[in-house]
Structure 1
């Protein structure tokens, strides 16, 4: 169900479409609280870099939905019972990762036809020691997993109206989704790759950097955000992570680092002609180097 695949070939458009439907169902389940939800993670590139072949290829997709919650708002008096009830009334059940194991309080399951989709609730922390620890929203029924600097998506996000058909004859509905913008997405993905070294994180990061716009405009947007003084700790840490995982050092060429290798391996290019593979890794590293140089 909640599988992080290691290669692009294992993802499908149909599964990603199901994730979009689950997202809309979640927004409807949250009712008046839905405007406080922020979409992050692997579904975001679908909206940041919509497919426009051949210039912008379709993003690989995702198998789950990552949502940042604003705990301050959700813990307002009277919210607890309403949230728990509305999730269950909306067709969501607590996810059970293993058949004989406990159910999760921060992961919920929604079935889109025969496709089960896991929703993961996330919450901001600026304390590295608290990253990956749960914070309770609703006793033991609803909680969120803390990740570093998730609140960047509260402030820097985009909106888009989407139309989907809900399962079980739920009808066609419109919803406005709020998702991390390019700066927030790149910051969170750079930090995610630094902490867990998953190929998919590196690929998502490079896809958005490559296809959101040109590198100069992206670097310019970062410089504008840095000038505001908001979320500068998060941006600084993310840029450091990009340098460490993708960029040249005096004795280590960037293309040989784990970032470019993860991107190439995710797309199944590790076994092709070595010259072609190295060229592809150089291209990834070169783009990130160029991006960093235009910011600093």
Structure 2
């Protein structure tokens, strides 16, 4: 369980530096890599700067790989680059390798050690048979993710600058899932695992659009003829169906309110915000 108090600036800055490092050394593949997951809200609404509205970021990195367009043969594969830069396969409690998941350990300038998890995802369709959980890219596996098929055509570009783990100040360009595709992937993810962070991300995206709820409705209403997207929206609607449904409760839990009144305000606002937008979208 990940809650707001865990998202210290030291931890999120360390994770931010890993994004910059990855996109620096994977530059030749960057056209076929899209950032998904918990960092997307932070980068998507660049106009949000106020401390009380700023997104918490993330403690790990999720990258979607467009395996259909990444060349099958290359003198230096993605795995080669990751291993050369100190990334290692994660292992489960029994010591077995977790496919599509890596970690990078480094010490920052304040002598704090960080271990950051990096997961690679891929489209469900095409490639391996439907009963397989992964797509093969070079000599690595990327985990299939529901809704990932949408992100490669529905993304925006952002420019990031930060110090990499080695201390070098670097600027990179990065493709980031847009509102439509991240809401789809988050809807499926929350339905699958019920994560407090996923619920917070959905609520935050609906609550903090630079053009208000009208901006959310305008962007998403263009996509309500897409079957996969409607499935995701219906899952979100069901999760926020009632005030005490899992969605509103998970959002409130993420904020860790100390007072019952504060919890009630957050829970109600997330419930009302999601349902108000769903009503306008006719979901």
Shared fold by TM > 0.5?
A: yes
Paired with 1:84 and 1:276, the residues of 2 have a C-alpha distance of 47
Residue 251 of structure 1 corresponds to which residue in structure 2?
none
What is the match of residue 142 of structure 2?
144
What is residue 272 of structure 1 aligned with on the other side? Answer: 259
Gaps in structure 1 of 5+ consecutive residues: 248-253
1:182-193 matches, within 5 Å, as 182-193=179-190
Counterpart-to-counterpart distance in 2, 1:17 and 1:198? 22
Q: Deviations over 1:168-209 (max 9, x none)?
A: 34x211100111111211111111111111111101111111
What displacement does 1:84 show?
A: 2.4
> How far apart are residue 122 of structure 1 and its match?
0.5
Report how far residue 241 of structure 1 moved: 0.8
Q: Does 1:101 align with 2:95?
A: yes
Q: 1:283 to 1:95 in 2, by over 3 A?
A: same
Q: Could you tell me the TM-score, scaled by structure 2's length? A: 0.88
Tell me: CA distance 1:145–1:289, structure 2 relative to 1, closer, same or farther (3 Å): same
2:110 is the alignment partner of 1:115: no
Give the aligned partner of residue 86 of structure 2. 91
Q: Secondary structure at the match of 1:43?
A: helix
Mapped to 2, the partners of 1:261 and 1:27 lie a distance apart of 36
Partner of 1:32: 28
Q: Partner of 1:57: helix, strand, or coil? A: coil
Alignment length (residue pairs): 273
SS state at 1:255 partner? coil
- The CA distance in 1 between the partners of 2:217 and 2:44, in whole Å, is 16
CA distance in 2, matches of 1:186, 1:116: 28
The worse-fitting range, judged by mean Cα deviation, of 186-195 and 56-65 is 56-65
**Pair 239,77 (structure 1): closer, same or farther in 2 beyond 3 Å:** closer
Summarize the alignment of residues 215-230 of structure 1 with structure 2, pairs less than 5 Å apart: 215-226=213-224
Confirm whether residue 294 of structure 1 aligns to residue 280 of structure 2. yes
Aligned position for 1:250: none
Q: 5+ unaligned residues in a row in structure 2: which ranges?
A: 108-112
Match of 1:211 in 2: 208
Looking at structure 2, the residues matched to 175 and 6 of structure 1 have their Cα atoms a distance apart, in angstroms, of 28
The correspondence of residues 237-252 of structure 1 with structure 2, limited to 5 A, is 237-247=231-241
In structure 1, the residue matched to 2:40 is 44
Query: Residue 78 of structure 1 corresponds to which residue in structure 2?
Result: 73
CA distance 1:183–1:80, shift in 2 (3 Å): farther
Match of residue 196 from structure 1: 193
Q: Separation in 2 of the partners of 1:162 and 1:131?
A: 37
Structure with the higher fraction of residues in helix conformation: 1
Q: Aligned-residue CA RMSD in angstroms?
A: 2.3
Separation (CA, whole Å) in 2 of partners of 1:176 and 1:27: 8
Aligned with 2:104: secondary structure? strand
Alignment of 1:11-26 (within 5 A): 11-26=7-22
Structure 1 position 222, deviation (Å): 0.9
- TM-score, normalization: structure 1? 0.84
For 1:95, what is the secondary structure of its paired residue?
Answer: strand
Change beyond 3 A, Cα 1:131–1:216: farther
